[in-house]
Structure 1
């Protein structure tokens, strides 16, 4: 609930068309330009932000949100900022579910435990996972395909001078830190990724499933869990976690030939907690679609060297320019390709940049409007 004295901002529902259309105002939150939704600038409890989403799939599978001013860090009253990037696969249902439920669970457990903690975050992730699996079970006979839908889940929380990063899957959070005396900003990756392309992830899977020689398979030059999926942890993907869904009426292409007794994919996030310092300049949260085309340092350099206004949109443009270059085509031609077909060139991409004001990081009160904004709402 938002008190009557506070203004709640919610991003618009939108249905993208071809890029190249004249940009049109959607409301005070942002704008839609073809397959692109963006909010060039805004304020959160701890500074400013920029946010953008571009669609490539027939249905947008990325979802995201920023919540600020409504998350109480502890009983003494400081307020925090929450960022979520949810990169769906197999469909948009899981990422939409996370967008609707994860933050609510987090607020509930913060209230119950009188503060933010690793335990609170773990409980919020677990409740979201359990809720979606329960939904799959309830709709098993009517919508069995829900068992094959999942989502990566990247969360960032700033509370009382501390930064919490929690991640499932291969979205990524990167910190831009100003190096003393040289005026350069270093890129520091904060999130741990769970993708079978990483050797340590493959080793982890093999150690968890010592009797399964096919737990990771190199297929068409890509490492995949059971030859199916690249990520080793997610929300959803019930067909790889619960044997009860490894049967009809689920489509045969999703069913494993051999039974399994324990979950193949995990749902426990990797969590990092650290203090924020005055030389910590900004945070970039983005789905894998961005990092497929830009390195951490390239992204950080763009944010550091260009104006804050519209910087998330600029990062997406840089990634799309690289995607076009890889296919030996012009960026202007790539923008003309419709959703669905566009997926052959790049994935859905979500980018949220949080700028950090050192004077506001340890702020003990918040007098601004409550911010609740979502990108990629279909």
Structure 2
């Protein structure tokens, strides 16, 4: 197995033996010393462990991501940028902070209402930035990002997404087999239901979806049907056409069950080809195979060139230990993917907050 991708797998694979039966024969230790690969092997959260891995392919890293841990909560955000990193960076800088500033994670007003507020606030905030800067940087109107966010709060899982990314819940069956359940659905023109929705919304536009080199694209330009940003496909002031994309999230909630063992949050770069390091190894080996190259050849590619073989990839794997629920407190951490810095999380803002208080409308 090739060295630097193999080490990317190890970060999230090694701790899995604590939660499910796995073969650990091919596990190595530590992260590779490679500037295009970043990983956080194992950190604590309030009901288990998490691991985190990112690999860069683009000239500028377009994936942005974060994990925020609290006393009885954990927040995961994966933001898969396209056209540039600005929209993904904006979400990473503002989404969690906005949740915390409103106290929503402690008060937990109805989750769908909360998510609609938060993600539309990100959309409006970034479009304000586009308006301010498009005169000097016109291409910012073509920059956007997918957004996948997940929260575990006192034993309940909340997921919202506007994207191509996926969240998967892994459980153990009565026969001791691993069952994987996809919690999100693609907002992508490759899905027949998405194409039908677009055609219904734009009955007079025969080119609303176009098959281009075997892949469906909206207006022949973009695959995702929902995003943050992409002003030129949403606001007439930035384009000559009618709006075709939206920022409306899909949302799900579920109470964690005793047989639930792990969660995977990952950007589209992973799912195109195939936990964090184990999954990334599989993805990059597949990317190499499809191009008729060995991994030794792929790993020598410079950033930017690698984009022709695979996308930026972000994976967060969260292991769930039900015995820890309501147990010993763990440090509150803020971890950003591909940024080698760990600090205190702003979950501490919630200390002393009245849980009966109501959040004012924005």
TM-score range, shorter chain: 0.7 to 0.9
Shift in Å at residue 377 of structure 1?
4.0
Instruction: Please say if 1:370 is aligned against 2:332.
Output: yes
Distance 2:312 2:210 in 1: 25
Equivalent position to 2:157, from 144, 154, 163? 163
Partner of 1:236: 229
Asked if the contact 1:68–1:370 (Cα under 8 Å) also holds between the matched residues in 2, the reply is: yes
Asked if the contact 1:113–1:120 (Cα under 8 Å) also holds between the matched residues in 2, the reply is: no
Distance 1:146 1:89 in 2: 11
Partner of 2:68: 67
Shift in Å at residue 112 of structure 1?
9.5
The correspondence of residues 11-160 of structure 1 with structure 2, limited to 5 A, is 33-69=34-70, 79-111=72-104, 114-116=107-109, 117-160=111-154
Q: CA 1:112/1:351 → structure 2, altered by over 3 Å: closer, same or farther?
A: closer
Asked if the contact 2:99–2:105 (Cα under 8 Å) also holds between the matched residues in 1, the reply is: no
Instruction: Please say if 1:226 is aligned against 2:206.
Output: no
Q: CA 1:193/1:372 → structure 2, altered by over 3 Å: closer, same or farther?
A: same
Shift in Å at residue 31 of structure 1?
7.4
Write the deviation string for residues 303-323 of structure 1: whole angstroms up to 9, x where unpaired.
xxxxxxxx4122211211111
Distance 1:169 1:68 in 2: 23
Distance 1:329 1:112 in 2: 47
Partner of 1:339: 303
Equivalent position to 2:166, from 164, 168, 172? 172
Asked if the contact 2:39–2:338 (Cα under 8 Å) also holds between the matched residues in 1, the reply is: no
Distance 1:198 1:135 in 2: 31
Distance 1:46 1:233 in 2: 32
Distance 1:97 1:79 in 2: 26
Structure 2: segments with no counterpart, 5+ residues: 9-30, 341-362
Write the deviation string for residues 101-127 of structure 1: whole angstroms up to 9, x where unpaired.
011112233449822522112111111
Shift in Å at residue 367 of structure 1?
2.7
Shift in Å at residue 137 of structure 1?
0.6
TM-score between the two structures when normalised by the length of structure 2: 0.82
Distance 1:230 1:366 in 2: 45
Q: CA 1:152/1:112 → structure 2, altered by over 3 Å: closer, same or farther?
A: closer
Distance 1:359 1:63 in 2: 32
For the aligned residue pairs, the C-alpha RMSD in angstroms reads: 2.2
Instruction: Please say if 1:289 is aligned against 2:269.
Output: yes
Instruction: Please say if 1:203 is aligned against 2:196.
Output: yes
Asked if the contact 2:48–2:324 (Cα under 8 Å) also holds between the matched residues in 1, the reply is: yes
SS in 2 for 1:283: strand
**How many pairs are equivalent?**
314
Distance 2:278 2:124 in 1: 37
SS in 1 for 2:102: helix
SS in 2 for 1:230: coil
Structure 1: segments with no counterpart, 5+ residues: 1-18, 24-29, 70-77, 247-255, 295-310
Equivalent position to 2:250, from 264, 267, 270? 270
Write the deviation string for residues 67-107 of structure 1: whole angstroms up to 9, x where unpaired.
111xxxxxxxx731100110000000010111000111122
